[in-house]
Amino acid sequence: MNPTTRSRAIKLFRYTENASRQAHHAVAIAPPFIYLPLFSRKKISLAAQDVSFENQGAFTGEISPLQLKDLGVRYVIIGHSERRKLGEMDAIINKKIKAALNAGLAVILCVGESKRRGFNDAIRFIKRQLLADLRGISKLKTLNSKLIIAYEPVWAIGTSRFDPPDDAGKVIHSIKNFLNTRYKIQNAKVLYGGSISSKILPRYLHRPSIDGALIGGASLKLKEVKAILKF
């Protein structure tokens, strides 16, 4: 729920849009729902922070994938750790992914262990998440091009701690292998998220298995936005 004012949202967007022209990576922003119409049809890609699994109907407070599509939204974040913390279960995440993909939206699916674990335990945990979240989805022909994974170890989010780049790179490499073996998704895109700042971002982007980053609090700071988008 940041920022809390329309004027601040517009300032952040304009600054990010200008800075993104120098970026070497694809850039998308995920503002709160109420600000999405302000930036609809702009050159920079839009993402939604969540989505309903229903297309329409009497579901007060929900936002449907068709409504997002109509606004020009390209991506939707599903299964973010903050949503999971509020009680969102894998079964609901699974339904949301199906609805988003069927509407033609690209999905950024967030996965990650809640407690710091060894490599093998972390991989087992993430594989269980993926199996539950992607249940029955391999039949969708768009899966290969419309699914992005964001690996965000929950213990690192908002804590100023981060998974060492080598460790994160190994986990992401294993995620890609699993997606290829289980779902025939070749060249899957996997991002890293978890207390990312401009100071440590290059250490992740230099790892060949890491395709980008899911930026949280740093995206609200103008100087950080400029520094991050230089990479």
Is the pLDDT reported for residue 158 higher than 70?
no
How far apart (Å, rounded) are the C-alpha atoms in residues 5 and 144?
A: 37
pTM value is: 0.95
Give CA separation, 175 vs 2, 51, 128, 227, in Å: 30, 24, 11, 28
Is the pLDDT reported for residue 139 higher than 90?
no
Convert the pLDDT of each residue in 68-92 to its tens digit: 999 999 999 999 999 999 999 999 9
Half-sphere exposure of residue 135: CA atoms within 13 angstroms, side-chain side: 12
**Domains of the chain with CATH codes:** 6-228 (3.20.20.70)
Active site residues: 80, 152
